[in-house]
Amino acid sequence: MAKLYFRYGTMNSGKSIEVLRVAHNYEEQGKKVLLLTSVMDDRFGVGKVVSRIGMHKMATVVDENLDMIELARIERPNCILVDEAQFLNKEQVAQLIEIVDDLDIPVIAYGLRADFMGQLFEGSDALLAAADTIEEIKTVCWYCDKKAIMNMRCKDGEPIFHGEQIQIGGNESYVPVCRKCYASKRKSTSI
């Protein structure tokens, strides 16, 4: 019986390398993987899953027009992997649920849980509510040795706590931090 998995972590926790690793494991066994990524992540070109350590792979782009159910029916993969799943909307998560439940294809979605203000993304909210299995991909705080659970947005190396929910970026724009360091930096910038 297939399951819907949501594996979340902060920026720089290794989500994309995990996507690529799992894809490689399936493909090395001669199994078919359908790799999906959001149209919103254009850091390295639309339709590319790229890890900070340099590995990359082309993926099918998820936008508002993609019928993932029909694509899964046509492709019949052994597994579907979704990178940047926080950018999905509720209807797209509902499609993933239907793929799991009706087509019996496992789906593993990777993404951020919350934005730089600590608010859930729409896709993450829907995945947290519906996933059969929820797993955290851990990393350490940029400033101390505690587990990072927050994404701190930075501009010119300084933390910022305002702006649009979605701003695509990497290490130049975000650092993973623990809740205590996040609160401390937030407090010090509001003085």
Residues labelled catalytic:
84
* Type and span of the H or E element at 49: strand 48-50
Secondary structure class of 189 (helix, strand, coil):
helix
User: Cα(98)–Cα(78) distance, rounded to whole angstroms?
Assistant: 15
Nearest to 114 by CA among 187, 182, 37, 188: 182
Contact criterion met (CB below 8 Å) for 178 and 144? yes
Output DSSP code: residue 119. P
Nearest to 167 by CA among 41, 61, 36: 41
Q: How many CB atoms lie within 10 A of CB 85?
A: 31
